[in-house]
Amino acid sequence: MDASDSPAIAVDNLVKRYKTATAVDGISFRLAAGTITGLLGGNGAGKTTTIAMIMGLVSPTSGTVQVLGALMPKQRYRVLHRMNFESPYVDMPMRLTVRQNLSVFAQLYGVADIDGRIATLAAALDLTDFLDRPAGKLSAGQKTRVSLAKSLLNKPDVLLLDEPTASLDPDTADWVRTRLERYRAESGATILLASHNMNEVERMCERVIIMKKGRIEDDDTPAGLLARYSRETLEDVFLDVARGRDREVAQ
């Protein structure tokens, strides 16, 4: 098999059990390089835990996760410089300015021309006006753009996004999606996107994995899902899955 045929992310029989709950229950999937995949599911479906295991922040109870050929979390230092993420569960230090924050993270990721990279991202993501403002004094939309800039600092080959447009107004959310699509088109990066926003997933993703109670309930292209469930929108498909109508409908 040619190296280019290797999946960017390979998840095999992945299980994560905590003391009283099973967050992820034996899921498997492979994401081809250069694709955008949506990870859908209700609250507690296991999306964030799955992404955290792909990032190496949470170790699996059993099963394996490989990112760019490295076993996570054991071999994470082989690939962390080629990955990045954005999540509502983390923030940038509030008292540091946007420029200071981006500069520190750029140095952590070993970016060669830090000032140049920040200037490029500031222009692309419209950050220039508030580069020298403390991160804590930004609006929600501005913070999201800064987080996005941080996640693109090292030009990642694998980008993990956990609800990247949550709490954004429709205009800003659309703006963010456009930038992400542009980045994928320019870089050929692999993007895994966990979201509750069905329009976002339908627009951006060529493949959708639907999770429920830690398991994969369905896995197809958006068009394939709509056709099989005989639905007009992914939201209706999601509701079918969430309310347990998926099996009878899909049959």
Which residues of this protein are in contact with other proteins, per CB under 8 A? 16, 18, 23, 48-49, 52, 55-59, 73, 75, 77-81, 83-85, 87, 89-97, 100, 103-105, 107-110, 134, 150
- Report, in Å, the least distance between residue 27 CB and other proteins: 16
Query: What is the dihedral angle through the alpha carbons of 110, 116, 119, 122, rounded to the nearest 10 degrees?
Result: -30
CB nearer to other proteins: pick between 100 and 172: 100
- How many CB atoms neighbour CB 25 within 10 A? 18
- Report, in Å, the least distance between residue 79 CB and other proteins: 8
H or E stretch covering 165:
none
- Report, in Å, the least distance between residue 198 CB and other proteins: 25
Q: What do you get for the CA distance between the two ends of the chain, in Å?
A: 35
- Report, in Å, the least distance between residue 55 CB and other proteins: 5
CB nearer to other proteins: pick between 125 and 198: 125
Nearest in space to 109 (alpha carbons), one of 121, 126, 95: 121
- Report, in Å, the least distance between residue 121 CB and other proteins: 16
CB nearer to other proteins: pick between 80 and 118: 80
Nearest in space to 79 (alpha carbons), one of 66, 89, 90: 66
d(CA 195, CA 222): 14
CB nearer to other proteins: pick between 77 and 227: 77
- Report, in Å, the least distance between residue 184 CB and other proteins: 20
CB nearer to other proteins: pick between 48 and 237: 48
Query: Alpha helix locations (H) across the chain?
Result: 47-55, 98-108, 114-124, 140-152, 170-187, 198-204, 222-229, 234-242, 246-250
CB nearer to other proteins: pick between 85 and 238: 85
